[in-house]
Each structure stands twice: as C-alpha cells, then as structure tokens.
Structure 1
Amino acid sequence: MVRFMLRRDRVRLGVWTASIVFFYAYFVVALGAMGDPALAGRALIMETPSGIAMGGPGYGIENYTVGVAIANEGITWMVMGLAIMSILHIVRHTRGEEESGRSELVLARAVGRHAPAVAAALTLFLVNAVIAIVSALALSGVGGDELPLGDSFALTVGSGLGAMVFGAIALVAAQVTERGRGAVGISLAAFGLAFMIRAAGDIQQRQGSSLSWFSPIAWPQQMRPFVDVRWWPAALCVVAIVLFLLVGAFLGSRRDFGGGLIAVRAGRSDARGTLRGPATLAWLQQRTALICCALGLGLMWFASGTLLPDITSMISEIPESNPVFAAVFGEDPGQFTTAFLGVMILFAMLCCAAYAVVMGQRPKAEEGAGRAEIALATSVSRYRWFASQLLVAALGTGMLAAVSIWAMWLGAVSVGYAEQTFADYTGVLWPYLVALASYLGFATVLYAWIPRASGAGWVLLIYTFVIGMFGGLLQDLPDWVHGISPFYWLPAAFTEQPDIGYMLGLAGVAVLLFALGFVGFRRRDVPTT
C-alpha cells in the first residue's frame, strides 16, 4: 500500500517537494541580496505586533542575519504549507478512499483494518523526511557558512514535524466525520486555532509566553535555529504525533467502516419543492461548508479585533525605547495599528480566496460523482446548472469576506477600540469583493477547459501570498510581476481610496474569466473522458 500510494501521488508529491525546496532557496537568495541595512529594517518590523503575529517570537532580533530572518519569518509559513499537504494527503488516502468505495475492495483482501491509515502515515513521514533533508542541504548549499548544516536541519526537521502534527489531527478527524470535506475542514480549523494561540502568546511576551507552548506551530520556532539551536522542542511534536495516531487508531476500531463517529442526519423521505431548481440544490450542497467556514473565520477574526487595544499600547512604547525605530517608522502609534489591521484583513481575504478556489472546483466534484450528468439529462440547461453552482460559490465567498471584516470590527468595538467605524470597514470590504471574483473566475476557467488541471487554481492564491509577503525582498521586480496578483490593485486599508479604473479593470477581468468558463463548459463533454 505504501508503494501504491507513492506511485499514485508521485506527481503531486513531487510538485510539493520541489515547491518547498525552491521556496527555501529563493528566500535565502532574496534575503542575501538585501544587505545588512535592509535586514536591520526588517528586524525592526519583526518587533511590532504585526511582525510577531505573522512571524514568530523573535529570537536573534539583535543580530538579524539571513538565517535568523529565515527562522523568524519563514517557519510559520513553512509549517502552514506542509500542514496543508499533510492534511490533504491523510484525508485523501483514508476518508477519501472510504467514500469512493476503494478501501472496501482493498480490505476485502488479507489487509488489516488500520493498514490504509498506517500506510498513509508512513508515506507522509517519508515525504516530509525527503523535503526536510533536501531543503536543509539547499539552505546550507546556497547560504554557505552563514547557514550551518546543523541549524538548517533544525529548521527543516522542526517544520516538518510541526506539520505532521496536523496530519495526525487529520487522521483523527477522518474517524469523526463521514465526509472528506468535513475532515479537511476540522483539520484546517485546528491549524487556525493553533495559529491564533501562537500569535496571541507571542504578542503577550517576546520570545513566547506560556500560552505559546499550547500551539504546535510554536514548537519548531522554539528550537531557535541559527540563534541557539536546541532539539528538545522537537520531542513535543513527536509525542503529539504519536498521541493523535493512537487516538485515531482507537476511534477507528470503534466505528463502522464507511461511517463516522458523528452520524449523518437522516434526510427527508420526500424532496422539498424548492429543490426543483439547480440553484437550491447547489446551496444545499455548499451550505454546510459555508456555515462552518463562516463560524470559524468569524470567531478567529473577532478574536483578532480584540487585540487592537493591546497592540496600540505596545506600539506606543516602542519609539520611546528604540530611537532607531522612531527614526525609521515615525512616532505615530495609530499608523502602525492601522498597518497591523491591514495585514489582518489581507490574511482574512486570502482565506476567502481559498474558499473561492475550493468552491470553484465544486462542479468537478459533481461531475465526478455522476450527479452533473443526471441533472443535465433533464430539462436543466448547461448554462443554468453551471451558473447555479458559480452563483452560490460567489455569494458564499462574499458572505465570508463580510463576516471576516465585520467580525474584526465587532471584536475591536467590544473592547472599546473605535478608531475605525463600521462604514470604514465596509469601505475596505467592497474592493476585495471585486478582487475575490478573479480567484473564482480563474478556478472556473480551469475546470471548464482543463478539468484535470482544476487543482492549479491554487497557483494564483499561492502566488498572491508569496509576492505579497516576499516580493518586496527583490527591489527590481517589474510591476507586471506584482500586477498578476488581484490584491495588488487594491488600496491600502483605511488610508487610501479605491481607484475606479483599477476596480473596473478587475471587474472586467473577472467577467472575462467567467465568460471563458461558460464557453469552455459548453464546448466539452460531460463527463470528461
């Protein structure tokens, strides 16, 4: 089964491995090209609450070398990328195989009940081990003496182990729910909670408070690579992985095959009249994911909003104790609070863009399950069916964006922070709605024209994140490289007004993408052969 999984996923896992290794190497080259003054400026940013929340506890800030910068600014995002890979891999080969019926055929042979889960965990370990080894060699090889091999291994191995914790959580989630989407949602929610706990703990106290240690994301950071490396926090990852695997095995032994510990509620014996249309059917299929995402993101960004008074207080003290900070960034704490809020909104909108990409692939799931062919065999036209799926996805994406931003405002107001009004937050919201349509449109075009490559919809989202976070490291990048990201054309939150020309341009691109999607879907066979 291990050989089968590796053969089946050889392209998928190869792309993940190459991408992670390339990102490490790119990060080293980009930071090395900046020079010491620019690195010192980045160290000052890492002392702000936004830098701490997005980066980490801030070890080695006093001597901000390339290695220290990679550890401070890269570990969180490496763990996130590897965690997503781990979650999808585990769910794909456990709950996904049960849903498809293939696991039942395999287990009908002389194969143990836990063999698929054990094989999935073993393959995940092998892939993470390869990524860690090759990435460490790439770091040390590109960085030379400035990035010792031992510290490089501490960074990559710690990140891999931290990510595998969430893979083990996904195995537990796969026993709880009957649907792969539910297992992925629970696992990603666990990562979001871990991120918030780590950020809140590190903001409370530099180099991490006791709260930080409750997050698996903090454990690789506490290994202090390129500063004062220590390996014992990696043991926390190993213990957590073993515990979650044991819990998953325990739960897996006590549920029916194909079922979950939480039983699916029985449906009505007859269909409602409202289900006669494809739009209401699409809503019924997407509503659970939308409601869960809205609740999770709403709570997370509400909690973020409650941090604003503490952040303002912390920032107001920095210029007094750090004259260099005041000289570089000024002495207005409100300016930095607004910048921090803008970063939070950016990450909230990236989450909404991810939802748009997922729901843009929803028609493919309907087609693969055979339901699209059945629906299109009736009087429902292709355009009507396709438009219904996209309409519900678009409305859901807009709803998530509104919930995220307004929850942030509500959290700030609940603790007495009223620097920005509800109207200000709403003014930030609507330009993002225009940009988010581009992500859904891009996923639509891929599904309509090249269904096998519909997963490439994530490329635009990843590109937006990378160019937004690290594009500034390379000063000579042309404007068109930044302009590929739809978010590049949006105004800075709370400080700039939207450019009508840019907004019309983004809207035009989205309309063109949707039009191309409808043309492509009309021209090809359903199902794809």
Structure 2
Amino acid sequence: MTANVTHVPATHEKPSRTAGALAGTGHLVRLALRRDRIVLPVWALVIAFLAASGASAFEALYPNPAERAGLTASVAANPSFAIMFGPAYDLETAGGFTAWRFGTIAALLTSLIAAFTVTRHTRQEEDTGRQELLSSAVVGRYAPLTAGVTTAGLFSLTTGALLAAMVTGVGADATGSVAFGAAVALCGLVFTGVAAVTAQLAEYSRTANTLAGSTFGVLFLLRAAGDTSDAEWLSWLSPVGWVHRVRAFAENEWWVLALPAATTLGLCAAAYALLPRRDVGMSLIPGRPGRATAGAGLRTSLALSWRLHRGALIGWIVGFGVMGMLFGTLASGVGDIVGDSAEMKRMLQQMGGARGIEDAFLSSITGMVAMIGSMYAVQATLRMRYEETALRVEPLLTTGVGRLRWLGGHLLFVLAGTAAVLAVCGALLGLGYGLSSGDVGGEWPRVFGATLAQLPAMWVVAGAAVLLFGLVPRATVAAWALAAAFVLISMFGPILELPQAVLNVSPFAHVPQLPHAEFSATPLLWLTATAAALVAMGVTALRRRDIG
C-alpha cells in the first residue's frame, strides 16, 4: 500500500502578534451588543429625551426677553445652581438653557453606563470564569478588553448623536447641538477609559465599578469647587467640567473636545499596558487571602447576603445622601430659577399644590429620587441572578440552607435596602431644606414623610424584578428596561399628553404629590399590596424551577 505525499513549500511568514492578540474581537463585540441590546438603547433614548424635553419647554416657559434676562440674573446671583448644574453661558436660548440644565446629568448617566458596560464585559466575565474558557479558544489576550471598550464607546457616541439630533429637532441651533452632544459623548468615552483601567486594578467587578463611580464623584466635586470659587482652574482638571467648557450654544469652543479625546486615548493605552502584567482572573491590586474558616459574622446565609450587598448598598446610601443634602439646600432658592416666568410658576404650583413653588420643587425632587432609587432595587435583585449563573447557589443549597432562607436574605436587602436608601436621602433632603429655610423642626418631618411616601412605588419595581427572576430567570435583565419604561412614562408622559391609561402603568403616577398635595393612603396601600403580590409570585415561581 502506497500513499502519495504532496510537498507543501515552507512559508517564512510569521503570524502577526497584533492580529493574534485581537483574534475574536468582532465576535465578542457582536455578543456584547446582543447581550445589551435592550439596556443600552433604552438608556441612550432616556438621556436624549431628557435633554430634548428641556429644550422643547424653554420657549413656553420663558417666552420673552425680559423673563430670560431675569432668569440669567437670578442664576448668576445664586452659587447653589453652579454646584449642581455648572456655569451658565447662555440662558437666552433654548439650547443654552439645555446645555446648562442637563449637561451634568447627561454626562453623569452616560459616563456611569459606559463604565459599567466595560466592567460587565471584562472583569465580570473573569469573575464568572467565562473569560478563561474563551481564552482557551481562538480569542486573543486583548480581545475582551477591546470588545468592552468598543461596546461602551458605541453607546457613548450613539447617545451623543441622539442627543444632538433630538435637541436640534425641537428647534435648537444645530451647531450648538452637535457641540453639546459631542461633549457628552466624549465624557462617556473618558469614563470608558477609566473603567478599562479599574478593571485591571480591581479583583472583582463590584470593586472596579466602585472605583469608577468614586472617580466620577471626586471629579464632580472638583468641578463644583472650581465653578463656585476663584480657583476656576480646578474645573479644567475635571472631564465633567469640560462638558461645560465647550460652551455649547454660546462660543462653541471646539478645541476643548481635544482634552477628553486625548485623555481617553491615554487611559486606554494605560489599560492595554497593564493588561499583560496580570493573569486572567487576577488583578494588579492583590486581594487579601481569606481565612481558613469563616468568621463569626459570615456563618449564616443572611451574613453572606450582607457581604454581597453591602458595597452597593453603602455606595447608594452615600450618593443619595449627598444628593438629598444638595437638592434640599437648593430648594429654598428655586424661585430664582423660576425667575419672572408666569408659566413656570403655574406649572410648578400645579405639580406640587397651590401653596408654593418650593413645595412643588420638593415634590418633583422626591419623585425623581424614587425613580432613580428604584434602580438600586433592580441591581440588588440582579445580584441573585448573578450568584445563580456563577454556580455559587447550588453548593450553598447543599449545606442545609433552603431556597426560602437563601432568597429571604437577599430580599431583605432588595426591600429594606431600598427603604434605607430612600430614608437617608429624605432625611438629608429635609435637613438641607430646613437649614436653608431656617425652620428645621417644621420642615424636616413633612419633607421626610413626602420622600418616604414614594417607597411603595419603588417596591413595585422591585417586585416586578423579583417576579422576572423567579419566573423567567434568563429575562431578569429586562427589569432594567421595565424600570426605564416607568421612568420614561412618568417624566415624558404628561409632556406628550399620553392617555391616562398609559400614565397609570407607572407606579410613580399613583403616589400623592406631597408635601402639599392632599395625602391619601389608598394608593399607597394598593401599591404596597401590588408589590407584595409580585414578590410572592416570584418566590413561588423560584421554588418550582430548577436552579441554574
């Protein structure tokens, strides 16, 4: 038996190290976009709609030059507004008002979502062990980081483009809208780079997100210090400050955009340089070695739940406490931002009752706090799904810990944790307003009570997330889209004049507009009962399905 052997000429071409290191990047990008196909588009639309709504309402609220001049003078005389919103360069136009009023919040949301997206597709994949499996296949060393950065970068750029298009669509100057959208998008890209670095430094995804969020907080405070003092140069050290220094709709300082672009490139270069210095699953900041046996405070399922939730819970409490104090201090001067606009006074009085613009502002703030705080409930619920997909629940259940006991420990932080976040914010909101108005004893109880009245609506969002987790575990992430839908309906439903039946879909539409609207316990009881029913159905569904 013979065989024919074909001679293949030897090739002296060496495989490209760059191509090999990036092998599989396209597949990972498509996978990341598929996994985030609901969450990222929803957030991009929310941010763009938020800015566009302010621009569309400006002409109606301040229809004549005298009212706009009064607004400009009032804002310039009140430094509290610079802390929250940054400097105002042009309040004579709808675009300039939008850039001032929504620039910081748009940059905040874009930056945090971008940072969390990078962490989700890099460090979190290493936490679960999936990255190690992928690395054993045809996936290059730099491919996961490149895919995470690309996905977050696409989100930031899409958000900026949508924002520019929508603000232009409601009548603002097109050039200024592009400058505004570019500034927000590039701020998101900066924090894409920040998260790429923290993913190399931290051992766990929660730590990486905490570092990225803390970085934003520090830079926000740096910007606030520069905008409210003679040391304006401090604002130039902050990417949040660069969003305003572009002066969109005023001078349109395009060269400022080079600062976040260069910073993004530098941070990404640093992340790529740090990546090969560690092994997959490890970090540059080494974790502390664990004890041979669990400590006294980590020997129960409840103690384990506390360990898993404490970082996020403390972070939310601190962030909401700061927000409550700032908005409480700002509330006593809200008449300055209203200025001489009769239409704005009428609208705010309708929103919060007939007894004052400040109470109307507090009413809108408590509603906003509740809508944002409901995101904590979703995040805490998704922690249970994360533990399940990471295959850490099944070993725990073999130790004698029942499903209800395990679930109850997590639900305590979903429900009671949500209450704690809201209570701290309400306490400091009332304290800040009481101190600024000179009547802490009289104002604190009613502001605190008005804030707590939002809790049943937040529990409904938590209950819906628990139901998804128990009934359709693979769709648990859709709880983000559901929460975002409630926010969109509550914020833009009245502006778009949607039917009342649509507005009633959001649980936040049923909360009495305290502090000066007439209190009614009936809707709060119905919301609480609805939340309890949703949680009960979710628990029942979990008991009947397989884990994993």
TM-score (norm 1): 0.80
CA contact (8 A) 1:97 1:103 kept: yes
Indicate the SS of the match to 2:415.
Answer: helix
1:62 to 84, 92, 102: 92
How many Å separate the matches in 2 of 1:466 and 1:375? 39
How many Å separate the matches in 2 of 1:448 and 1:317? 49
Q: Hey, what does 2:321 align to over in structure 1? A: 298
CA contact (8 A) 1:21 1:138 kept: no
How many Å separate the matches in 2 of 1:335 and 1:521? 48
Q: Hey, what does 1:452 align to over in structure 2? A: 474
How many Å separate the matches in 2 of 1:177 and 1:28? 34
How many Å separate the matches in 2 of 1:401 and 1:189? 20
CA contact (8 A) 2:117 2:148 kept: yes
CA contact (8 A) 2:200 2:284 kept: yes
Indicate the SS of the match to 2:516.
Answer: coil
Indicate the SS of the match to 1:40.
Answer: coil
Q: Hey, what does 2:15 align to over in structure 1? A: none
Please list the CA deviations of residues 411-467 of structure 1 after superposition, one character each: whole Å capped at 9, or x if unmatched.
566778434544334323432222221121111011111111111111233234333
CA contact (8 A) 1:196 1:300 kept: no
How many Å separate the matches in 2 of 1:318 and 1:101? 52
Q: Cα offset for 1:53? A: 6.8
Q: Quick check: 1:170 aligned with 2:195?
A: yes
Amino acid at match of 1:259: M
CA contact (8 A) 1:172 1:248 kept: yes
Please list the CA deviations of residues 321-367 of structure 1 after superposition, one character each: whole Å capped at 9, or x if unmatched.
x54469946999x9444444445444443443111111111221121
1:65-104 equivalence runs, <5 A: 67-68=95-96, 71-104=99-132
Q: Hey, what does 1:427 align to over in structure 2? A: 449
Indicate the SS of the match to 1:495.
Answer: coil
2:401 to 367, 380, 383: 380
1:285 to 289, 298, 308: 308
CA contact (8 A) 1:91 1:171 kept: yes
Q: Cα offset for 1:508? A: 1.1
Task: Label 1:492 to 1:212 Cα distance change in 2 as closer, same or farther (>3 A).
Answer: farther
Indicate the SS of the match to 2:178.
Answer: helix
Query: Which stretch shows the higher mean deviation, 22-31 or 277-286?
Result: 22-31
How many Å separate the matches in 2 of 1:453 and 1:468? 24
Task: Label 1:326 to 1:485 Cα distance change in 2 as closer, same or farther (>3 A).
Answer: closer
Q: Quick check: 1:396 aligned with 2:410?
A: no
Q: How many residues align?
A: 511
Q: Quick check: 1:359 aligned with 2:380?
A: yes
How many Å separate the matches in 1 of 2:444 and 2:234? 31
2:462 to 410, 418, 440: 440
Task: Label 1:295 to 1:229 Cα distance change in 2 as closer, same or farther (>3 A).
Answer: closer
Indicate the SS of the match to 1:229.
Answer: coil
Task: Label 1:2 to 1:221 Cα distance change in 2 as closer, same or farther (>3 A).
Answer: farther
Q: Cα offset for 1:518? A: 1.5
Please list the CA deviations of residues 224-245 of structure 1 after superposition, one character each: whole Å capped at 9, or x if unmatched.
4444433122112113223333
CA contact (8 A) 1:443 1:457 kept: yes
Q: Hey, what does 1:190 align to over in structure 2? A: 215
Please list the CA deviations of residues 24-63 of structure 1 after superposition, one character each: whole Å capped at 9, or x if unmatched.
8867986798694346399788966798777664444223
Task: Label 1:148 to 1:292 Cα distance change in 2 as closer, same or farther (>3 A).
Answer: closer
1:120 to 131, 135, 148: 148
Q: Quick check: 1:237 aligned with 2:265?
A: no
Percent identity over paired residues: 29
CA contact (8 A) 2:465 2:479 kept: yes
Please list the CA deviations of residues 119-143 of structure 1 after superposition, one character each: whole Å capped at 9, or x if unmatched.
4334433454455557656766x56
Amino acid at match of 1:473: I
CA contact (8 A) 1:486 1:506 kept: yes
Amino acid at match of 1:278: S
Amino acid at match of 1:243: G
CA contact (8 A) 2:71 2:337 kept: no
Q: Hey, what does 1:37 align to over in structure 2? A: 60
Query: Which stretch shows the higher mean deviation, 117-126 or 29-38?
Result: 29-38
Query: Which stretch shows the higher mean deviation, 237-246 or 450-459?
Result: 237-246
The structure with more radius of gyration: 2
Query: Which stretch shows the higher mean deviation, 442-451 or 189-198?
Result: 189-198
Gaps of 5+ in 1: none
Query: Which stretch shows the higher mean deviation, 247-256 or 154-163?
Result: 247-256
